Amino acid sequence: MAGKDQRAVVLPVRALDGRTTTVRLPAAATVRDLKAALRASFPPAQAAPAFHLFLRGGKLILDAKLSKRSPQGLGRHGQIRHVQEISGREASFCPLPPHLSPHTMNALNAIGAEAIAAAVSGGRHVVVSTSTSSGKSLCYNVPVLESISPPSSTSCALYIFPTKALAQDQLKTLLEMTQGQSNNNNSHVSIYDGDTPMKDRAKIRDSARQLITNPDMLHMSILPSHAQFRRILSNLEYVVIDEAHSYKGAFGCHTALILRSHPKFIFCTATLANPKEHVMELAKLDDVELVNTDGSPCGAKHFLLWNPSVARAQERRPSPVQEVSYLFAEMVQHGLRCIAFCKTKKLCEMVLARTREVLDETSPELANSICVYRGGYVAEDRRRIEADLFGGKLRGVAMTNALELGIDVRPHRRDAAPRQAGRSGRRSKEPISVYVGFEGALDQYFMNFPQKLFGKPVEHCQVDSQNHKVLGQHLACAAFEKPLCVRKYVGPDNKSPSRTVSIRAIEHDRYKVIDKQGYRVLEEIEESKAFFQSDIALPPTSASSSKTGMVRTTAQANSCKVTTEWTCFDRIWKSNNVLSDSIEVDLPPYSFDTQAAWVTVPKSVRAAVEQRKLGFQGGVHAASHALLSIVPLHMMCSASDLGTWCADPQQTSKTPERILLYNKHPGGIGLASQVKLLFGELLIGALQLISTCTCTNLDGCPNCIQSFACSGYNKNLDEAAAVLILKGVIENERLYFYGKDGSQQS
């Protein structure tokens, strides 16, 4: 023990005025010990009434025993459920292509060399699928710069990014790469999106060789006005699609119909289970060369699972927002540059407000070193925040997902949990990531089964370019852009049809919400969300059982019709959340055709549930909610992509004997077929989720069977019945394929 106490570390310290020193401390010393040592012997620290340490790397925050030092007592209730150390790796080197021009060779290191070789070797489409911060942008910037650098070249390239923030970041990178080149001309690279001033657009169309845009602008402006972009489009040599994993769901369906008939694609995506198949479907390509060897250096990562819900045992109602704010403030005060990822814009603002309150009490001078970055800002505010973020002025930022999509926030340089965690600790540095579990089923599932987060193979990304509703919308757009015969398009107000087709959704019909006093349009809402009540999924008339595939399951998938009916709305007192009364409404039902996947609940299981005096209807309802919560663990989808049958206590018809998930997008986006193959794993995961929840309520809680998206307001749920149903269905599946003796059935 004495030997352990004698071990020490030597830390170099530099003050902002340039003075330096070294401090020798025991290996187990805390940040407080370091401050005391500096206060005793380092003149800059002695002269300052208060000072802050800006630590390089994140490992020290673990050594600092954060939970014991914090005045808020962070972690004293046992919120740290799991600590995962992810090993780092050394860089792997290979030669750069020998035919690169000298100025390109001088600008490069070996990161991404294999992908660069694949991209510049002629004629092949390439997809690069590697981890966050592995140098993927070099894999498309190098071949593009090579193609446009010869003096006689007229080649052009189109860069497509899903967000404006990412476009700005990549513009900065391109400008840095071309600095000092003899043929450098900054007008060759330009952004053309909704923020581009009208006065600059003609000049960009006439001079840009590298045009940076997004799918929305490509759909709304560039393709409908393709004659104005003739010089660029006719000389197009490369089309770069970065963050290809973000093109899924409705957005992916639309983008797949926009990306057609281009010369050579270079795709970059985060690590996926099916990168090659995904991009081939996205751009309708016959073949793509896959590069998934990651030779980039990576520092060891520390990943904490932090669960505020465990504080219930101490009769303390946890507030995840409050604890995120305390953690955020603590890290900023230690000089750690920090990103707080939040699921919604509202959460971002709440975290910012609470964190600033904490900093106002403890370190007022740091209160303005944090801000929010989210959608909805005007262009000037976005550019200002981006400049402060990239320049190192900001110490922390609360945001939705802009940084998840590949933006580098290291000073002076130019997406779920692993991609978000990958935003820190780049280039062999050691970061810390904290996953704070909210009161949601998936969050709590990861808190109870951390190996599912760290040991699970990466998800599949699904896109369906055959959605008939989307095809019809883009057929009108294509006819307007390049008609087969000379006829004028006739449509709403004779405008381009692309103006009426949103590529972020599938529904075409929308309702306007109008302020009657000022007759001001407040927002537009899709028809399916304009009125809200319960969904009734009508099953397909026929389907066949699947006995082969990734998972052995009797689950079925086919077309179905979903009908939403509105009967009344409840008026509730805001002061006490008590129901005032119900108002009947007379509205037509809303229906759409889509796709569904389901598994049958055996009659014997229903009989067992009813024999125990449990509610079969509530059990199916609860089991379906649990499956919905588990789906994102296996597939790249969101809560708005899938729905289920939600039991209505007033419904008199017989409860269907099935657990069903349906696609909430008209026409479907290919998710049902994937759900069918995964149904066996989904059933097991749903049972684990419910069985490990510590709640004692008959109708469960948000951590197990209650869903914020439930159209039945989480009424008529039966947790005990759900467990029986899931166990019965899982056992029936096992017997179907393996029999009572365990031998595989034909």
**C-alpha–C-alpha distance, residues 46 and 654, integer Å:** 78
Q: For residue 271, give the nearest of 133, 443, 400 by alpha carbon.
A: 133
How many angstroms separate the Cα of 169 from the Cα of each of 140, 212, 254, 603? Answer: 15, 11, 25, 58
Residue by residue, DSSP assigns 222-251 as: ITTTGGGGHHHHHTEEEEEE-SGGG--HHH
Which of helix, strand or coil describes residue 711?
coil
pTM equals 0.68
* Helical pair 719-738 and 671-691, crossing angle rounded to 10 deg: 120
pLDDT at 214: 93
E-strand ranges in 566-664 read 568-572, 579-584, 590-600, 642-644, 658-663
Beta bridge partners of 556: 598
In 3D, which of 720, 712, 595, 725 has the Cα closest to residue 661?
A: 595
> H/E/C letters for each residue in 500-539?
HCCCCCCCCCEEEEEECCCCEEEEEEEHHHHCCCEEEEEC
Bridge partners (DSSP) listed for residue 14 = 20
Residue in the structure block whose two tokens are 């490369």: 238
For the record, the structure tokens of 488 come out as 């004028």
| pLDDT for residue 92 | 73
The separation between CA 326 and the C-alpha centre of its own chain, rounded to angstroms, equals 24
* Count of other CB atoms within 10 angstroms of residue 521: 10
pLDDT along the chain (746 residues), means of 10: 57 78 80 82 78 52 37 64 82 71 58 52 80 79 85 91 86 78 66 93 94 94 92 93 88 87 82 87 90 79 82 57 89 84 86 93 90 78 81 86 47 39 53 85 86 72 81 86 64 68 74 72 65 48 41 86 84 79 88 92 95 94 94 81 80 76 88 90 94 89 88 88 96 86 64
- pLDDT for residue 310: 63
Q: In whole angstroms, what separates CA 433 from the centre of its chain? A: 16
Residues 381-385: contacts with CB under 8 Å, at least 24 apart:
382/164, 382/165, 382/168, 382/195, 383/168
The number of beta carbons lying within 10 Å of the beta carbon of residue 222 is 21
Residue 459: phi, psi to the nearest 5? -75, 165
Report, in angstroms and rounded to the nearest whole number, the Rg of the chain calculated over CA atoms. Answer: 28
Classify 707 as helix, strand or coil: coil
Parallel, antiparallel or unpaired: strands 338-341 and 396-399: parallel
Buried b (16+ CB within 10 A) or exposed e, 20-51: ebebeeeeebbbeebeebbeeebebbeeeeee
- Domains of the chain and any CATH numbers: 1-51 (no CATH), 57-87+298-454 (3.40.50.300), 102-291 (3.40.50.300), 532-738 (no CATH)
